[in-house]
């Protein structure tokens, strides 16, 4: 739009280890971007002040007037009041008014959502979800989160709980999750969960080649499990197969609830690509019988670790257009 030629929007993606930011044209074309570490010792206010200064610099360099900001933030959050509640990956950010602080610093309207919802929106608008009206995005990294888009709209639900797929029960008598429930998908199948199950196997005395792939047992990650499983290690194979089975149960339950047009997987564990996707599709498509599940593609995110920043920009763009 001609009238928007001198304007820009900004997106901020606040994660446990880094803040990514970008400025873009009002229709979402990125002009420039930056990222720096979330040095939590500096506190939320100092980090957001640094972020705001950087956004101002980028907008000035591009000779554009900033008109709106979207923020994707690690949860749990109070989305309506644009505050963090008690994010485990952001120590020192308890009950912090993120939206209000950035609004004061940059003097433009701020829209705010959790990082998984924003990533879903980013993939929907700019990534693997383009052209679909109904999709489910699932991030499998240190935790498991998700976002659900129905009829082109993010679903928030009661208490903003929609899309919290990391807390689907996949093992009713399983170990206790941080949320207070038992056998949650995140606890068992996040990168952290996969690694923890592998370490427990090693510490219980099972013979496995995983120990030869790392210096110390603590260094075992989900990648160690995948590598050892594909090399034929029986213990790693058992852990990886169980991961596929539990993820498959969770995704199968999502399919029969939402019946989306596509399921998009993001996060570090999804970078294993077909080594994850091929057996996962096979499990899901053979277990979900009530609907034509194999017409629902299960794919990896195409924006990789930038789904969140694209989603933050889309939050800004949508709020300015409504
Ligand atoms: Zn849980």
How many Å apart are CA 279 and CA 320, to the nearest integer? 42
How far does the centroid of ligand 1 lie from the alpha carbon of residue 196, in Å? Answer: 16
Strand partners, 11: 22, 70
Centre of ligand 1 from the C-alpha of residue 163, in Å: 13
State mean pLDDT over 30-42.
Answer: 85
Exposure string over 287-316, b if 16+ CB within 10 A, otherwise e: bbeeeebeebebbbbbbebbbbbbbbbbbb
pLDDT in tens, 216-225: 999 999 999 9
**What is the average pLDDT score of the chain?**
95
**pLDDT of 2 strictly over 60:** no
177 C-alpha to ligand 1 centroid (Å):
5
| pLDDT, tens digit, 9 for 90 and up, residues 205-219 | 999 999 999 999 999
Ligand 1 centroid to Cα of residue 172, in Å, is 11
CA 194 / ligand 1 centre spacing (Å)? 15
306 CA → ligand 1 middle, Å: 26
Provide, rounded to the nearest whole percent, the portion of the chain with pLDDT above 90. 89
CA–CA distance, 84 with 86 (Å, rounded to integer): 6
Distance (angstroms) between ligand 1 centre and the Cα of 182 equals 7
Gap from CA of 166 to ligand 1 centroid (Å): 7
Q: Please list the alpha-helical segments (H only) found in the chain.
A: 43-61, 98-106, 115-126, 185-189, 191-203, 210-213, 222-230, 234-258, 274-287, 307-321
What is the number of helices (H) and of strands (E) in the chain? 10, 12
Q: Tell me what pLDDT residue 91 has.
A: 86
Q: pLDDT tens for residues 45-63? A: 999 999 999 999 999 999 9
Distance between Cα 67 and ligand 1 center (Å):
38
> Residue 322 has what pLDDT?
63
pLDDT at 278 over 90: yes
- Does the pLDDT at position 131 exceed 70? yes
């Amino acid at each position: 739009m001609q009238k928007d030629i001198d304007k820009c929007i900004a997106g901020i993606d606040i994660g446990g280890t880094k803040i990514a930011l970008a400025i873009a044209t009002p229709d979402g074309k990125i002009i420039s971007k930056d990222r720096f570490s979330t040095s939590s010792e500096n506190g939320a206010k100092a980090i957001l002040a640094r972020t705001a200064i950087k956004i101002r610099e980028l907008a000035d360099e591009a000779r554009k007037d900033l008109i709106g900001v979207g923020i994707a933030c690690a949860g749990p959050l109070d989305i309506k009041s644009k505050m963090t509640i008690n994010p485990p990956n952001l120590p020192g950010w308890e009950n912090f008014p993120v939206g209000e602080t950035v609004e004061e610093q940059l003097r433009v309207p701020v829209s705010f959502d959790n990082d998984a919802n924003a990533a879903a929106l980013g993939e929907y608008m700019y990534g693997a979800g383009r052209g679909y009206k109904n999709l489910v995005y699932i991030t499998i990294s240190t935790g498991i989160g998700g976002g659900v888009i129905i009829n082109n709209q993010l679903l928030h639900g009661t208490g903003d709980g929609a899309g919290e797929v990391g807390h689907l029960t996949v093992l009713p008598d399983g170990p206790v999750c941080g949320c207070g429930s038992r056998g949650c998908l995140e606890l068992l199948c996040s990168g952290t969960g996969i690694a923890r199950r592998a370490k427990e196997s090693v510490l219980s005395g099972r013979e496995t080649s995983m120990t030869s792939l790392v210096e110390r047992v603590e260094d075992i990650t989900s990648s160690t499990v995948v590598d050892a499983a594909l090399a034929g290690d029986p213990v790693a194979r058992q852990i990886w197969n169980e991961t596929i089975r539990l993820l498959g149960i969770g995704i199968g339950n999502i399919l029969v609830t939402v019946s989306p047009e596509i399921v998009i997987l993001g996060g570090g564990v999804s970078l294993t690509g077909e080594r994850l996707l091929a057996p996962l599709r096979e499990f899901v498509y053979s277990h979900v019988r009530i609907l034509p599940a194999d017409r629902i593609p299960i794919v990896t995110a195409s924006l990789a670790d930038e789904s969140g920043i694209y989603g933050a920009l889309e939050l800004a763009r949508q709020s300015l257009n409504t």
